[in-house]
Chains A and B, each alone.
Chain A
Amino acid sequence: MVHKAPRKSAAKITRQAASTVTHPASAQVIRDLHERMVRIRLFETEAGKLMEAGKLPGFLHLYVGQEAVAAGVMTALRDDDQITSTHRGHGHAVAKGVSFRHMYAELYGRVTGACLGRGGSMHINDVTLGMLGANGIVGAGIPIAVGAAFAARYKGEDSVAVTFFGDGATNIGAFHEAANMAAILRLPVIFICENNGYAEFTPQSKHMLITDVADRAASYGMPSVIVDGMDAVAVHHAAAEAVERARAGEGPMMIEAKTYRYYDHQGVKGLRHPYRSDAEVEEWKARDAIDLLEARALADGTATRAELDDTWQRTRDAIAEAIAYAEASPLPDTADLLLNVYSG
């Protein structure tokens, strides 16, 4: 049953205690969420370190802090469901199952990377897993997801398309056009707004007059819900409901997940123009999504500390192996500069 969530301010959600979480979840879902979140967290923290060590060319928009959203949504999807992502796309890629090796090799600009070293961080994709790419243009992945959903219905398949975007992207025309298009064509698209409170460095209060981005869905006749984006189980449930609805042909839906970006817009932590306080960052970190999920798992006996630690260790090992693979991988051959400009 889809409903419009009662309005809650971001601050109110921030202050929600973990104990208020009431969504039931199977042990399998909890473990799956945990594993995906740990994989994202470690992938991103290591990527940040590599960047600061000067090992990676280009930009990095890291996803640390928002892991519950990618994990919560992706655990509600099938492999044949499609996603489009953003400039902050590593988390979505990891959660959809893109390999660490392909991702790190791409960040290193190696020919073994997800884009053969042609795309970098902002174009990581794996179409065999339904990951239709990160995207360097804010809001641009949203209409593409509408097209992916159109294709699924056209072919008589029941897969859905999920598009991730931030609060800032809902100020760009592509979001509004795509939301209306999906609604009028009644396409199986799930719009996931990861509201981390900032459009690059501009706080939400300075880029829109509304508190809940989800309000925008109503303009297009689209139902919406607001979830605590630090609660992976809550995100999972909201996504599962939207996916079920979309698969059943009931059209698109929007989920606004209130979340937070621990690192800067780009890189780890900038040195100039403090646009937010350390206290604010710490307040959100106190409700860290992985901590909340682990506390819940331990409290309800879904997992032991040793099992959780094992997940962290296995992931660390896999990441170390993938980084070594990337560093040992060959660079692209400059003779192949024009490879894949055109098909055929």
Chain B
Amino acid sequence: MTTISEAPAAAQDGTARKLTYVKAFNEGLAQAMREDENVFVAGEDVAGYGGVFRMFDNLLDEFGPRRMIDTPISEAALVGLGVGAAARGLRPVVDLMFMDFIGVCLDQIVNQAAKMKYMFGGAVSVPLTITTASGAGLGAAAQHSQSLEAWLAHVPGLKVVMPCDAYTAKGLTVSAIRDDNPVVVMLNKVLLGSKSEVPEQIYGIPLGQAHTARQGSDVTVIALGRMVGEALAAADELAAEGIEVEVIDPRTVQPLDTETMIASVRRTNRALVVHEAVTFGGLGGEIAAQIQDAAFDYLDAPVLRIGAPFSPVPFSPVLEKAYVPDQARIVQGCRRLLERS
């Protein structure tokens, strides 16, 4: 029942510093821009306005209009600009504002950025970072609230990261920018103002490495993005009853660190996967299949998936609250798994 912290360096010398998720992202991006002259940012309202979520605050002042570029609302051309610039040796960061807008530029992401290296016989790399805000919970309704990681994780050539707190928002963003592949950084809108300890220096978090956010021996909960916080809260609640929940944050959903999950399930014998995206066709199905493939004999119950119902994200707060998985549903799911075995 130990909570594992990655113990940011600052915390050890007693100068722990907390930042909001959005400020941590901003700091990581700024540091990556200082680290590499080839990094630039393009998108709608990223420069003059600083981004609608203030993700890019103050960057125009420091880096100027050469490296902070406001573009028209033209996502296909924007991502294409990123692909072409990346193929020519730059490290573009292009911002899609809301993840739901990905539909209008999916060709450039899926058919161009993701496949270019492979199709070209390895002749180019596409070190492109796409930042975007995902997730429900702000009453933004069906076209501004989706979690579409399963679409992108399905495409060979792409990487997809889902920061769950300020610490990972910074570290995963830095790693995305340093990576030589196209990486989609799915920031979570509800978490933008949430605070956690963030080291001041630049740091990356390895892509494709899951993090065990809490150790436990009774149930493994694999939670994506914002669901990590809900799962940790559920674990606290169940701990009071003597149920010890292990919480795993994949951090990167493509590539997906299944080894960490499988090793955990072999110890706990029960697994629950939770994500904001609709359950049907979501990553929960993939993770469940991989666990059953590698740890079938260890399972005391079928792997349980918790996701959103098969519906667009609703607007009215009462509906939206019922739609998005939360602590209570995770607690209920864990109990169900324990009752079955």
Contact = CB atoms under 8 A, between A and B. Distances in A.
A252 interface: no
A201 B181 CA distance: 37
Interface in A98-140: 113-119, 123, 125-127, 132-133, 135-137, 140
Nearest to A153: B66
A144 B69 contact: no
B156 interface: yes
A117 B69 CA distance: 38
Interface in B34-57: 40
Contacts of B126: 343
B118 A143 contact: no
B160 interface: no
A341 B89 contact: no
Nearest to B126: A343
Contacts of B40: 154
Contacts of A84: 84
Contacts of A344: 179-181
B112 A151 contact: no
B289 interface: no
A177 B104 CA distance: 11
A145 B85 CA distance: 9
B240 interface: no
* Interface hub of B72, B112, B121 (most chain A Cβ within 10 A): B121
B179 A145 contact: no
B122 interface: yes
A261 B101 CA distance: 37
Contact of A155 (B80, B89, B117, B179): B89
B76 A343 contact: no
B121 A146 contact: no
B207 to A, nearest CB: 10
A190 to B, nearest CB: 14
A77 B217 CA distance: 66
A185 interface: yes
A115 B179 contact: no
B71 to A, nearest CB: 6
Contact of B85 (A148, A340, A341): A148
B111 interface: yes
A218 B112 CA distance: 28
Interface size band for A: 35 or more
B79 to A, nearest CB: 7
A181 interface: yes
A340 B181 contact: no
Contacts, number: 153
Contacts of A127: 87, 120, 123-124
Nearest to A115: B121
A82 B123 CA distance: 15
Contacts of A119: 118-121
B12 to A, nearest CB: 31
Interface in B72-93: 72, 74-90, 92
A48 to B, nearest CB: 23
Given A115-B119, A125-B123, A340-B117, A144 B156 contact: no
A146 B77 contact: yes
A230 B72 CA distance: 36
B84 A148 contact: yes
B122 A340 contact: yes
B121 A118 contact: yes
Contact of B84 (A146, A341, A342): A146
Nearest to B75: A177
B212 interface: no
B37 to A, nearest CB: 9
B156 A140 contact: no
A198 interface: no
* Interface hub of B75, B104, B108 (most chain A Cβ within 10 A): B108
B84 A132 contact: yes
Contacts of A151: 84-85, 88-90
B150 interface: no
B157 interface: yes
Given A143-B80, A144-B84, A177-B77, A123 B124 contact: no
A51 B24 CA distance: 56
Contacts of B157: 341-342
Nearest to A181: B77
A119 B157 CA distance: 14
Nearest to A117: B121
Contact of A146 (B81, B118, B156): B81
Interface in B2-57: 40
Interface string A162-175: 00000000000110
B84 A150 contact: yes
Contacts of B108: 140, 143-144, 174
A184 B87 CA distance: 22
* Interface hub of A113, A125, A152 (most chain B Cβ within 10 A): A125
A142 interface: yes
* Interface hub of B84, B111, B117, B126 (most chain A Cβ within 10 A): B84
Interface string B102-145: 00100110011000111111111111000000000000000000
A17 interface: no
B111 A137 contact: yes
Given A113-B121, A155-B88, 17 more contacts: A119-B119, A126-B123, A127-B87, A132-B84, A140-B107, A143-B78, A144-B108, A144-B112, A146-B81, A147-B82, A147-B88, A161-B84, A177-B72, A178-B74, A180-B77, A185-B69, A339-B122
10 contacts: A119-B121, A123-B120, A127-B123, A127-B124, A133-B120, A146-B77, A173-B76, A181-B81, A185-B71, A344-B181
